[in-house]
Amino acid sequence: MTSPQRPPGARVLWPLAALLTVAGLVLLVLGVLGSRDRASADMVGVVAGDRVSVGADGLSVWSRSAGTRADTVCTLDSETLERPAEDFTTRVGGEQFHEVARTPAGHPTGDLPLVCDTEDTVYAGPFGPATAPTGLRGGTGLTLGLLLLPLGLACAVLAVLARRRTEPEQGADPGAYTLDPRTAPPPRDPYGPPPSGPPQGGPTGPRYDLPPP
């Protein structure tokens, strides 16, 4: 009897399934974490003249109203901030905020006074472009994760099916039809004299079919 023969490629299905599944889960988690809401502490309400902290990444001014950007000019330490060309939003603590202004490239850092000529409530918060989830910590990670995870599960299913289809091949047992040459009788010559002695399987001992002498 021979051992079970697996189809070609069946041995790599399990490692491939594990690799794709783990990679898909990791990318999916990265994408979700990058797309989740920011903490509410990231937005600080300010009034005209309040000093705000500007880090190396820059700073943006935000509002809950989409119309604030259209007619609002903000200055930071007497330098006019840039106004976004289109509506840019981010979610913080479950609420949506619209960007009103942002610091230009190379703006000095530190605690600087902020003034915005609007009656709407504005907030000092993270630099707008930095809030957009990009790469693996965003849409790319979500997309790749949603692609690789089903592929890994599909490979696992194929591996299970390939294992079920594997059956041991039944072969002839040569020992059942081969005589041991040490115990096998010698070959009989068809043209030679008949073998001496009683026929195989016949009675042995004295004969009683002849009259006594």
210 found inside a domain? no
Summarize the confidence of residues 42-54 as an average pLDDT. Answer: 90
Q: State how far Cα 119 lies from the chain centre.
A: 50
183 found inside a domain? no
Which burial class, exposed, middle or buried, applies to 13 when counting CB atoms under 10 A from its CB (0-12, 13-18, 19+)? buried
For residue range 181-199, list pLDDT tens digits in order. Answer: 666 666 676 666 666 655 5
Please give the angle made by the CA atoms of 135, 98 and 142, to the nearest 5 degrees.
25
- The range of the structural domain enclosing residue 95 comes to 40-125
pLDDT at 114: 95
- Please identify, among 100, 125, 150, the residue that sits at the C-terminal boundary of a domain: 125
Given a cut of 90, whether residue 128 has pLDDT beyond it is no
- Please identify, among 125, 154, 182, the residue that sits at the C-terminal boundary of a domain: 125
- Examine the domain organization and report whether 28 and 78 are in the same domain: no
- Examine the domain organization and report whether 57 and 117 are in the same domain: yes
- Examine the domain organization and report whether 18 and 63 are in the same domain: no
For residue range 137-183, list pLDDT tens digits in order. Answer: 667 777 888 898 899 888 888 888 887 776 554 455 555 555 566 66
- Examine the domain organization and report whether 88 and 115 are in the same domain: yes
Which burial class, exposed, middle or buried, applies to 20 when counting CB atoms under 10 A from its CB (0-12, 13-18, 19+)? buried
In angstroms, the Cα distances linking 154 to 8, 148, 149 are 17, 10, 9
- Examine the domain organization and report whether 141 and 83 are in the same domain: no
**What predicted TM-score, i.e. pTM, was given to this entire model?**
0.50
pLDDT at 143: 83
Q: CA nearest 80: which of 100, 63, 53, 55? A: 100
- Please identify, among 125, 157, 176, the residue that sits at the C-terminal boundary of a domain: 125
- Examine the domain organization and report whether 24 and 68 are in the same domain: no
Pairing type for strands 110-116 and 95-102 reads unpaired
Q: Which of 80-84, 137-141, 204-208 has the highest mean pLDDT?
A: 80-84
> How confident is residue 99, by pLDDT bands cut at 50, 70 and 90?
very high
pLDDT at 61: 95
- Examine the domain organization and report whether 51 and 107 are in the same domain: yes
- Examine the domain organization and report whether 88 and 143 are in the same domain: no
Mean pLDDT of the chain: 78
Residues facing 114 on adjacent strands: 76
170 found inside a domain? no
Summarize the confidence of residues 66-85 as an average pLDDT. Answer: 91
Residue 189 makes CB contacts below 8 A (sequence gap 6+) with none
